[in-house]
Amino acid sequence: MTALVRLRLAGFLRTGRALAPVLAGLLALGVLYGGGRARPAEAYGVSAVVLFPVLAWQTKILLDVEPDVQRRLARVVVGPVRERAAGLLAAAVAGLGTVAVALVFPWLVGGVTGETGPGDRSVAAGVALGLWAHLLALPAAVALGALASRAITRSAGYGVAVLSVGAVGALVLGLSDSVLPWLAPPVMPTARALTGDLTASAALLLSAWALVWVVVALAGYAWGRRTRA
């Protein structure tokens, strides 16, 4: 399976298709941090929201690079479970690279401040919370990108529709005060929580929410792959 992960990452990188989501992410972050300097936790919380659709798009591109025949051959050689896991793992590794860039980028352009006042979080705590916010968004983005991949939708148009509805829905539902936010991953609630005093219970709730959403989404992906084998 490790060889299959490397193969998919190599195809994603060597074809140059990795450039589009990375450049889109940098452009979005450049616009975000161009408005002034913010404390790390608040800045990174919004950064995770901005990167969510980019990471989902990146996952879809990575999974769609592999030709259908090659994917079926891999399924036969390593088995359906390992074949699916290899694709998701490759997407997660690529996503971690994008997240690493997103964590460093604001310091290079002066988008965050290291100055703290009375009652403010320390810089280290802010960076740790920002990393946590991105690591909550990444698995959900990978799951959404997998659901939008060609192996599930069979059509570029349907894939774009799934990706668009999922990304927009996560942002819109996250702003709702009704029960509807539970239908989307907690990218917006996490960003809002980082602007105030985040309690341990709230952090655990957001983490559990993200985990349940990812499990349900990946279960749908596995079911879709089985029915479309």
Q: What is the predicted pLDDT for the residue at 229?
A: 60
pLDDT classification of 112: cutoffs 50, 70, 90:
confident
Span 181-213, pLDDT tens digits:
678 899 999 998 888 888 899 999 999 999 999
Identity at 196, one-letter amino acid code: G
Q: Which residue has the tokens 């290079």?
A: 108
Number of other CB atoms surrounding residue 118 within 10 Å: 4
Identity at 167, one-letter amino acid code: A
What domain range is 194 assigned to?
Answer: 2-227
Counting residues of the chain whose pLDDT is more than 90, the rounded percentage is 39
Average per-residue pLDDT for the chain: 87
Q: What is the predicted pLDDT for the residue at 116?
A: 65
Of 147, 171, 217, 221, the C-alpha closest to 51 is 171
Q: What is the rounded (10 degree) CA torsion for 122, 125, 129, 135?
A: 140
Span 57-92, pLDDT tens digits:
999 999 998 887 888 887 888 888 888 999 999 999
Q: What is the predicted pLDDT for the residue at 118?
A: 65
Q: What is the pTM of this model?
A: 0.92
Distance in angstroms (rounded) separating the CA atoms of residues 61 and 81: 20
Q: What are the percentages of helix, strand and coil residues in the chain, rounded to 5? A: 80, 0, 20
Span 158-178, pLDDT tens digits:
999 999 998 888 888 777 655
Q: What is the predicted pLDDT for the residue at 75?
A: 81
Q: What is the predicted pLDDT for the residue at 226?
A: 85
Is the pLDDT reported for residue 150 higher than 60? yes
Q: What is the predicted pLDDT for the residue at 178?
A: 56
Structural domain count of the chain = 1
Is the pLDDT reported for residue 121 higher than 80? no
